[in-house]
Structure 1
Amino acid sequence: MAFTTAEKVDVRRFCGYGMFGSQYTPASGTRFSTAYGILEYKLNNMLAEEEAVTRTTYLANLYLLESDVPGARANLDTEQAAVWKHNANEVADRVALFSHYRRELCAFMGIPPGPGLGSGGSVRLVV
Protein backbone atom coordinates (compact mmCIF):
# COMPACT_ATOMS: atom_id res chain seq x y z
CA MET A 1 0.00 0.00 0.00
CA ALA A 2 1.50 3.34 -1.03
CA PHE A 3 2.24 6.03 1.52
CA THR A 4 -0.51 8.52 2.15
CA THR A 5 0.21 12.19 1.54
CA ALA A 6 0.30 12.75 5.31
CA GLU A 7 2.87 9.96 5.75
CA LYS A 8 5.04 11.46 3.01
CA VAL A 9 4.86 14.85 4.75
CA ASP A 10 5.99 13.23 8.00
CA VAL A 11 8.83 11.27 6.39
CA ARG A 12 10.13 14.45 4.72
CA ARG A 13 9.81 16.36 7.98
CA PHE A 14 11.50 13.67 10.08
CA CYS A 15 14.32 13.34 7.54
CA GLY A 16 14.97 17.07 7.79
CA TYR A 17 13.68 18.12 4.38
CA GLY A 18 11.40 21.07 3.74
CA MET A 19 7.81 20.91 2.67
CA PHE A 20 6.95 19.74 -0.83
CA GLY A 21 4.06 22.10 -1.54
CA SER A 22 1.58 21.75 -4.37
CA GLN A 23 3.63 23.36 -7.14
CA TYR A 24 5.09 21.14 -9.83
CA THR A 25 8.23 23.21 -10.41
CA PRO A 26 8.96 25.67 -7.64
CA ALA A 27 11.68 28.22 -8.29
CA SER A 28 13.59 27.52 -5.08
CA GLY A 29 13.94 25.22 -2.12
CA THR A 30 15.31 21.80 -1.41
CA ARG A 31 13.34 20.24 -4.28
CA PHE A 32 16.30 21.11 -6.52
CA SER A 33 18.71 18.98 -4.47
CA THR A 34 19.77 15.50 -5.51
CA ALA A 35 19.05 14.09 -2.04
CA TYR A 36 15.51 15.47 -2.06
CA GLY A 37 14.89 13.94 -5.48
CA ILE A 38 16.16 10.57 -4.24
CA LEU A 39 13.91 10.83 -1.19
CA GLU A 40 10.87 11.51 -3.36
CA TYR A 41 11.77 8.64 -5.70
CA LYS A 42 12.14 6.24 -2.80
CA LEU A 43 8.88 7.37 -1.17
CA ASN A 44 7.06 6.57 -4.41
CA ASN A 45 8.85 3.30 -5.23
CA MET A 46 9.29 1.34 -1.99
CA LEU A 47 8.48 -2.31 -1.71
CA ALA A 48 5.43 -3.06 0.44
CA GLU A 49 7.75 -4.65 3.01
CA GLU A 50 9.91 -1.52 3.14
CA GLU A 51 6.84 0.64 3.62
CA ALA A 52 5.77 -1.62 6.49
CA VAL A 53 9.16 -1.21 8.21
CA THR A 54 9.03 2.55 7.68
CA ARG A 55 5.54 2.74 9.18
CA THR A 56 5.97 0.38 12.14
CA THR A 57 9.62 0.80 13.12
CA TYR A 58 10.22 4.44 12.26
CA LEU A 59 7.06 6.53 11.90
CA ALA A 60 5.26 4.95 14.88
CA ASN A 61 8.24 5.53 17.18
CA LEU A 62 9.01 8.99 15.80
CA TYR A 63 5.46 10.15 16.50
CA LEU A 64 5.86 9.07 20.13
CA LEU A 65 9.34 10.56 20.51
CA GLU A 66 8.23 13.83 18.95
CA SER A 67 5.37 14.17 21.44
CA ASP A 68 7.69 13.26 24.34
CA VAL A 69 9.82 16.38 23.87
CA PRO A 70 7.12 18.95 24.69
CA GLY A 71 5.69 16.46 27.19
CA ALA A 72 8.85 16.90 29.27
CA ARG A 73 7.71 20.42 30.19
CA ALA A 74 5.60 18.91 32.98
CA ASN A 75 8.81 18.06 34.85
CA LEU A 76 10.76 21.25 34.25
CA ASP A 77 9.61 22.95 37.44
CA THR A 78 10.67 20.19 39.85
CA GLU A 79 14.26 19.80 41.00
CA GLN A 80 13.50 17.14 43.60
CA ALA A 81 10.36 15.60 45.13
CA ALA A 82 10.77 13.12 47.98
CA VAL A 83 13.21 10.53 46.61
CA TRP A 84 12.53 11.46 42.99
CA LYS A 85 15.00 13.87 41.45
CA HIS A 86 14.46 15.59 38.12
CA ASN A 87 16.86 14.79 35.27
CA ALA A 88 18.23 18.22 34.40
CA ASN A 89 19.10 16.93 30.93
CA GLU A 90 15.67 15.43 30.22
CA VAL A 91 14.75 17.68 27.30
CA ALA A 92 18.22 17.41 25.73
CA ASP A 93 18.16 13.62 26.16
CA ARG A 94 14.73 13.39 24.53
CA VAL A 95 15.76 15.65 21.64
CA ALA A 96 18.94 13.59 21.12
CA LEU A 97 16.94 10.34 21.03
CA PHE A 98 14.40 11.87 18.64
CA SER A 99 17.22 13.12 16.37
CA HIS A 100 18.90 9.71 16.51
CA TYR A 101 15.74 7.97 15.31
CA ARG A 102 15.33 10.59 12.57
CA ARG A 103 18.88 9.85 11.36
CA GLU A 104 18.16 6.11 11.53
CA LEU A 105 15.16 6.65 9.22
CA CYS A 106 17.45 8.49 6.78
CA ALA A 107 19.97 5.64 6.94
CA PHE A 108 17.24 3.05 6.32
CA MET A 109 16.03 5.00 3.31
CA GLY A 110 19.59 5.47 2.02
CA ILE A 111 19.50 9.27 1.95
CA PRO A 112 21.60 11.89 3.73
CA PRO A 113 19.91 13.74 6.59
CA GLY A 114 18.34 16.95 5.32
CA PRO A 115 19.22 20.50 6.29
CA GLY A 116 16.56 20.43 9.01
CA LEU A 117 18.68 17.92 10.93
CA GLY A 118 21.50 20.39 11.34
CA SER A 119 25.07 19.33 10.72
CA GLY A 120 24.10 15.79 9.79
CA GLY A 121 23.80 16.30 6.06
CA SER A 122 24.28 18.54 3.15
CA VAL A 123 22.29 19.51 0.11
CA ARG A 124 23.85 19.29 -3.31
CA LEU A 125 22.20 21.60 -5.82
CA VAL A 126 21.74 20.49 -9.40
CA VAL A 127 22.18 23.35 -11.83
Structure 2
Amino acid sequence: MSEDALTEVEKVNIRRYCWYPAYGNSNLANTWLYFSHYGILEYRLNNFAPEEITVVRTMLSTLTTLELGPSQAADNLDTDKAAVWTHNQNEVSDRIKLFRQQRMELVRFIGIPPGPGCVSSTINLAV
Protein backbone atom coordinates (compact mmCIF):
# COMPACT_ATOMS: atom_id res chain seq x y z
CA MET A 1 0.00 0.00 0.00
CA SER A 2 1.51 3.28 -1.11
CA GLU A 3 1.78 5.90 1.60
CA ASP A 4 1.36 8.79 -0.85
CA ALA A 5 -1.88 7.83 -2.61
CA LEU A 6 -5.19 6.23 -1.79
CA THR A 7 -6.03 2.98 -3.52
CA GLU A 8 -9.09 2.75 -5.77
CA VAL A 9 -10.79 0.53 -3.18
CA GLU A 10 -10.14 3.15 -0.47
CA LYS A 11 -11.63 5.83 -2.74
CA VAL A 12 -14.73 3.70 -3.37
CA ASN A 13 -15.19 3.20 0.37
CA ILE A 14 -14.72 6.91 1.08
CA ARG A 15 -17.36 7.78 -1.52
CA ARG A 16 -19.67 5.17 -0.05
CA TYR A 17 -19.16 6.26 3.56
CA CYS A 18 -19.69 9.91 2.54
CA TRP A 19 -23.05 8.98 0.92
CA TYR A 20 -21.88 9.54 -2.68
CA PRO A 21 -23.33 7.15 -5.26
CA ALA A 22 -21.18 4.86 -7.33
CA TYR A 23 -20.49 6.14 -10.80
CA GLY A 24 -19.10 3.01 -12.42
CA ASN A 25 -16.75 3.13 -15.37
CA SER A 26 -18.31 6.15 -17.05
CA ASN A 27 -16.36 9.35 -17.44
CA LEU A 28 -18.24 11.90 -15.35
CA ALA A 29 -15.51 14.55 -15.40
CA ASN A 30 -17.42 16.81 -17.81
CA THR A 31 -20.98 16.29 -16.59
CA TRP A 32 -23.25 18.15 -14.18
CA LEU A 33 -23.09 15.18 -11.79
CA TYR A 34 -19.33 15.55 -11.42
CA PHE A 35 -19.55 19.25 -10.68
CA SER A 36 -22.58 19.03 -8.42
CA HIS A 37 -21.68 15.93 -6.43
CA TYR A 38 -18.18 14.70 -7.04
CA GLY A 39 -15.86 17.54 -8.01
CA ILE A 40 -14.54 18.64 -4.63
CA LEU A 41 -14.52 15.11 -3.25
CA GLU A 42 -12.57 13.72 -6.22
CA TYR A 43 -10.10 16.59 -6.08
CA ARG A 44 -9.49 15.96 -2.38
CA LEU A 45 -9.19 12.18 -2.84
CA ASN A 46 -6.46 12.70 -5.42
CA ASN A 47 -4.60 15.48 -3.59
CA PHE A 48 -4.41 14.56 0.10
CA ALA A 49 -1.10 15.18 1.85
CA PRO A 50 0.58 11.99 3.15
CA GLU A 51 -0.35 12.92 6.72
CA GLU A 52 -4.00 13.35 5.70
CA ILE A 53 -3.96 9.95 4.01
CA THR A 54 -2.82 8.44 7.31
CA VAL A 55 -5.76 10.04 9.13
CA VAL A 56 -8.23 8.97 6.42
CA ARG A 57 -6.96 5.38 6.56
CA THR A 58 -7.47 5.33 10.33
CA MET A 59 -11.00 6.64 9.86
CA LEU A 60 -11.68 4.01 7.17
CA SER A 61 -10.52 1.28 9.52
CA THR A 62 -12.89 2.51 12.23
CA LEU A 63 -15.79 2.78 9.78
CA THR A 64 -15.19 -0.71 8.43
CA THR A 65 -15.46 -2.09 11.97
CA LEU A 66 -18.53 -0.01 12.85
CA GLU A 67 -20.30 -0.97 9.63
CA LEU A 68 -20.39 -4.57 10.83
CA GLY A 69 -21.87 -3.60 14.21
CA PRO A 70 -25.60 -3.81 13.45
CA SER A 71 -25.29 -7.24 11.87
CA GLN A 72 -23.16 -8.46 14.79
CA ALA A 73 -25.84 -7.23 17.17
CA ALA A 74 -28.15 -9.81 15.62
CA ASP A 75 -26.35 -12.41 17.76
CA ASN A 76 -28.03 -10.89 20.83
CA LEU A 77 -31.54 -10.38 19.48
CA ASP A 78 -32.81 -13.62 20.94
CA THR A 79 -31.77 -12.71 24.51
CA ASP A 80 -33.46 -10.04 26.56
CA LYS A 81 -32.02 -10.95 29.95
CA ALA A 82 -29.53 -13.59 31.06
CA ALA A 83 -28.58 -13.85 34.75
CA VAL A 84 -27.21 -10.40 35.64
CA TRP A 85 -26.75 -9.41 32.00
CA THR A 86 -29.53 -7.37 30.41
CA HIS A 87 -29.59 -6.80 26.69
CA ASN A 88 -29.47 -3.19 25.51
CA GLN A 89 -32.80 -2.81 23.72
CA ASN A 90 -31.32 0.05 21.69
CA GLU A 91 -28.16 -1.77 20.63
CA VAL A 92 -28.84 -1.79 16.90
CA SER A 93 -29.98 1.84 16.76
CA ASP A 94 -27.06 2.89 19.00
CA ARG A 95 -24.63 1.15 16.65
CA ILE A 96 -26.23 2.77 13.60
CA LYS A 97 -26.03 6.21 15.25
CA LEU A 98 -22.35 5.69 16.07
CA PHE A 99 -21.63 4.53 12.51
CA ARG A 100 -23.45 7.57 11.10
CA GLN A 101 -21.60 9.90 13.48
CA GLN A 102 -18.25 8.52 12.34
CA ARG A 103 -19.30 8.89 8.70
CA MET A 104 -20.05 12.56 9.41
CA GLU A 105 -16.60 12.93 10.98
CA LEU A 106 -15.06 11.68 7.71
CA VAL A 107 -17.21 14.12 5.69
CA ARG A 108 -16.13 16.99 7.96
CA PHE A 109 -12.47 16.01 7.79
CA ILE A 110 -12.54 15.90 4.00
CA GLY A 111 -14.41 19.22 3.96
CA ILE A 112 -17.33 18.26 1.75
CA PRO A 113 -21.08 18.19 2.22
CA PRO A 114 -22.61 14.76 2.75
CA GLY A 115 -23.45 13.14 -0.56
CA PRO A 116 -26.91 12.92 -2.04
CA GLY A 117 -27.41 9.51 -0.43
CA CYS A 118 -27.53 11.12 3.01
CA VAL A 119 -31.17 11.58 3.91
CA SER A 120 -31.90 15.13 4.92
CA SER A 121 -35.00 17.11 5.69
CA THR A 122 -34.26 19.69 3.00
CA ILE A 123 -35.36 19.58 -0.60
CA ASN A 124 -32.66 20.01 -3.24
CA LEU A 125 -33.64 20.90 -6.77
CA ALA A 126 -31.24 20.70 -9.68
CA VAL A 127 -32.18 22.59 -12.83
Fold shared, TM-score > 0.5 on shorter chain: yes
- CA displacement, residues 51-76 of structure 1 (integer Å, 9 cap, x when unaligned): 110001x1010000001121110011
Q: Which amino acid aligns with 2:42?
A: E
Query: If each structure's helix is expressed as a fraction of its own residues, which one has the higher value?
Result: 1
The number of aligned residues is: 124
Q: What are structure 2's unaligned runs of at least 5 residues?
A: none
Could you say which residue in structure 2 is the equivalent of 1:15? 18
Distance of aligned partners of 1:120 and 1:36 in 2 relative to their CA distance in 1, 3 Å threshold = farther
Distance of aligned partners of 1:67 and 1:121 in 2 relative to their CA distance in 1, 3 Å threshold = farther
TM-score by length of 2: 0.87
**Is 1:25 the counterpart of 2:28 in the alignment?**
yes
Could you say which residue in structure 2 is the equivalent of 1:70? 71
Contact 1:34/1:124 (CA < 8 Å) preserved in 2? no
Q: Which amino acid aligns with 1:61?
A: T
Could you say which residue in structure 1 is the equivalent of 2:50? 48
Distance of aligned partners of 1:11 and 1:104 in 2 relative to their CA distance in 1, 3 Å threshold = same
Aligned residues with identical type, % of pairs: 48
Q: What are structure 1's unaligned runs of at least 5 residues?
A: none
Contact 1:112/1:121 (CA < 8 Å) preserved in 2? no
